[in-house]
Each structure stands twice: as structure tokens, then as C-alpha cells.
Amino acid sequence: MPMESEIHTYTSDDIEVTYDVKRCIHAAACVHALPEVFDPEKRPWIDPEQGAADAIADAVHQCPTGALHYQRRDNGPSETPPTENTVTPFPNGPLLLRGTLELADTDGHVLLTDTRMALCRCGQSGNMPLCDGSHASSDFEDAGAIPDAMIREDELPSDAKKLRITFEKGSPATLQGPFRLEGAEGADSTHTKKAYVCRCGQSGTTPFCDGSHTAAGFST
Ligand code: SF4
Ligand code: FES
């Protein structure tokens, strides 16, 4: 079954913007990028008539969760995934992924494909495994660094592009495929092809799983 969504659509002659309420964490990257188009004080809060299609597309690309997407109506270019998959733990918040992404359950059912996703790390989301912003009212604290002991460079298959994310109830998420894992400060970075990442918020080796979910009784 695909992930639950609640999509609103905003259209001008040149571009159609879609907004998935379920995936917005109010990080406001869109608002900062183009306040004349994305204005939470106005209704509708997205007005594509107020900006050029290229500028709107650039602002949408900055949405870290994939809540925003667009379709060009002026034959302008569509969004293309970055050539490299990247994974970054956001301080006190979700794991941010960019690239050619596929989220699947352990039976192999694809729930979501996208160029941008935010995975919950705090264990409190009501829209698991995606972040829904609940970390802001939780006591989850994590600087978003990659532990030195965990930095290793894997040999990557040259032809693989996709980063596949799988998860099951009460367990960490498995990331499989070529990706660069980068600490929030950008200094600690490694290329790898497989990692088990914490979803319960209790690991002592974040962003990786250390088995704490069992003792924590994590069952989401
Ligand atoms: S950038 Fe994306 S997640 Fe952030 S407020 Fe805008 S739509 Fe929501
Ligand atoms: S990290 Fe955002 S809801 Fe858990």
C-alpha cells in the first residue's frame, strides 16, 4: 500500500505545484527561498502566479521532505535526481535523503519513490517511517554527527543508482545502494552501500542502530 498522502494542487499557466500535507514538517525552506509564492499567512498559502516558473522549481527543490513537487506547463525542465545519493542526519530531527530513492516494506512492496525524503529518527512520528515534525515536541536530541568509528569507505558497484530504504515494525531502517553519508556539519562524510539506521531515537551510535530499540520496546 502506498504511503498515506493528502495532496493539494496550485496552478498557474506555467507550472503546477503539489503539496502533500502529510509530509510537510514546516521547515520553511520554501518560505525562505521564495516568500512571495510560499506564504503561510495567506490563503491559498502557495500562489504560483506570484513567481517565475524557474524560481518556483528551484524553491521546490529545496523542500527537504518531498512535500513539494511540480509539473512544468511551459515545457521547462522537470526535476532530475542528483547524480549522487546523499543521507544527512538533521540535528534533533529526521534523516534527510536525496537522490534516486525507493521506500519499500520487507515484502518488497514499493511504498514511495522520490528524489527527497525525511525519515523519522526520534521514534515519535505519526506517519512512520517518514518524519511528521513530531521531533519538535519530543525530547530527542542529536547533533547529527557521524561517529568516527563508523566512517568507512565501501567499494561501490559502479552501475547501481538507486538507494533503497526498507523497514519493518520495531526495527531500524536498512539503507541499501550507493550513497554518501554526511554529518550535519559536512565535515564527516563517507561513501557506503549499506547501513542500518536508528528509528527509535534511543541509539548511542546515531545515526546508526545499536540494538537499543529492543530494550526501548520500540514497536512502531
Ligand atoms: S520546505 Fe517542504 S517541508 Fe518545509 S515548509 Fe515547505 S513544504 Fe513543508
Ligand atoms: S524525526 Fe521528525 S517526527 Fe521523528
SS (H, E, C) 135-175: HHHCCCCCCCCCCHHHCCCCCCCCCCCCEEEEECCCCCEEE
Q: Which three cell numbers stand for residue 141?
A: 536530541
| Pair (203, 141) in one structural domain | yes
Does the pLDDT of residue 159 top 80, yes or no? no
Residue 48 domain flag:
yes
| Number of CB atoms found within 10 A of residue 166's CB | 18
Residue 2 domain flag:
no
Q: Read off the pLDDT of each residue in 163-180 and give the average, rounded to a whole number.
A: 92
**Contacts for 68-71 with beta carbons within 8 Å, 24 or more apart?**
68/17, 68/18, 68/19, 68/20, 68/30, 69/17, 69/18, 70/15, 70/16, 70/17, 70/18, 71/15, 71/16, 71/18
Q: Read off the pLDDT of each residue in 183-211 and give the average, rounded to a whole number.
A: 90
Which residue of 95, 119, 122, 220 sits with most ligand 2 atoms within 8 Å of its CB, as the best mutation to test the pocket?
122
Residue nearest (by alpha carbon) to ligand 2 atom 2:
131
Ligand 1 binding pocket includes 32 (Cβ within 6 Å)? no
Calculate the dihedral angle through the C-alpha atoms of 7, 10, 13, 15, rounding to the nearest 10 degrees: -60
Asked if residue 48 lies in contact with residue 56, where contact means CB atoms within 8 angstroms, the answer is: yes
Ligand 1 binding pocket includes 28 (Cβ within 6 Å)? yes
CA-CA distance, 22 to 30, in Å (whole number)? 16
Q: Which three cell numbers stand for residue 100?
A: 534516486
Mean pLDDT value across the chain? 93
Q: Read off the pLDDT of each residue in 125-139 and give the average, rounded to a whole number.
A: 96
CA angle 82, 83, 86 (to 5 degrees): 65
Q: pLDDT tens digit string along 100-124?
A: 999 999 888 999 999 999 999 999 9
Q: How many domains does the chain have?
A: 2
Beta bridge partners of 11: 16
Ligand 2 binding pocket includes 12 (Cβ within 6 Å)? no
Asked if residue 115 lies in contact with residue 96, where contact means CB atoms within 8 angstroms, the answer is: no
Q: pLDDT tens digit string along 36-80?
A: 999 999 999 999 999 999 999 999 999 999 999 999 999 999 999
| Pair (62, 92) in one structural domain | no
| Pair (11, 67) in one structural domain | yes
**Which of 19, 37, 72 is the endpoint of a domain?**
72
- CA-nearest of 121, 133, 127, 116 to 59 is 116
Ligand 2 binding pocket includes 121 (Cβ within 6 Å)? yes
The Å distance, Cα 63 to ligand 1 centre, comes to: 5
pTM of the predicted model as reported, rounded to 2 decimal places: 0.94
Counting residues of the chain whose pLDDT is more than 90, the rounded percentage is 80
Domain span at residue 36?
Answer: 7-72
| Pair (193, 116) in one structural domain | yes
| Pair (64, 137) in one structural domain | no
Ligand 1 binding pocket includes 46 (Cβ within 6 Å)? no
